[in-house]
Structures are given as C-alpha cells and as structure tokens.
Amino acid sequence: MEFPLKEIKVMDASKRTAHSNAFYYGFGSNKKIVLFDTLLKQHKGPKGIEEIVGIVRHELGHWHHMHPLQSMLFSIFNLIAMFTVFSFVNNNHLLLYQFGFFYESNFISLVIFGKLYELVSWLTSLLMTLITRKFEFQAD
C-alpha cells in the first residue's frame, strides 16, 4: 500500500513553545505530516534521526488505520446526538413544566438542554478519550 504523501512540513513552533510535536492531517491527495522545529532541534545525531523516523512512521500509522476519518465519523455521531437531545428539549411543554416553568422560552429550553447534554457530553468525551488511546497504540 503506497502512501500518497505530498510532503513533510516543518512548523516554526519554537517562537511559541519549547514543546516538540508532530501530527498528520489531510484527506484525499492533500495528506501532510508536520514536524515542529523544536522536535528536530531536540533529536540530533544518528540516534535522533532514528527517533524522528519512528515519529514519522507513527504518523503514517495513523494514515494506515484511517484514524482521521474515524475521528470525523465520531464527531458527526456526536453532533447528531447533540441535535437529537436539543430537538427533544426545545419547547417541550411537558419538560418545561417538570422543571417548574409554565411558559415557553427558547432561553429556558437552551439552559435545560445545556444541563441535560452535560451527561451526553461526558459520555462522548470518555468514549473519544478511549478511542484516541486505542488509535495511539495502533499507530505505534
């Protein structure tokens, strides 16, 4: 399987941070791997070149396993869950009455939605954290 990588870019991150990082992004024919300049400065010599090659291979692992696509699909699922909860709450007379409100209000519906969505958000955040950890182990 051939990786249609257009290029590896170096980001001038040393002006903002001393943290070293690398990431992969893009879809279709617009795939790129970006290395922070701090990463290149911190890994010099023959041993450092091996480590940088390992980091690039890790990013290629994300491409091989289609992690960006899977993350995007999860985000779409998350948006669908959010809009589903909002459509349930928006001007739901029974729900407003159960919360002690006797009139329709978009503002009150939005506040109730925010409180109810906290649980959904917590669950999707936990699930995304678990998926991200799985992705990182797969890419290695």
Selected catalytic residue, list 2, 7, 12, 140: 140
Selected catalytic residue, list 2, 50, 59, 118: 59
Is 140 annotated as catalytic?
A: yes
Cα–Cα distance, 26 to 19 (Å, whole number): 23
What is the full DSSP assignment across 80-113? HHHHHHHHHHTT-HHHHHHTT--S--HHHHHHHH
Cα–Cα distance, 52 to 57 (Å, whole number): 9
Is 104 annotated as catalytic?
A: no
State the amino acid at position 32 in one-letter form.
Answer: K
The residues assigned a catalytic role are: 59, 140
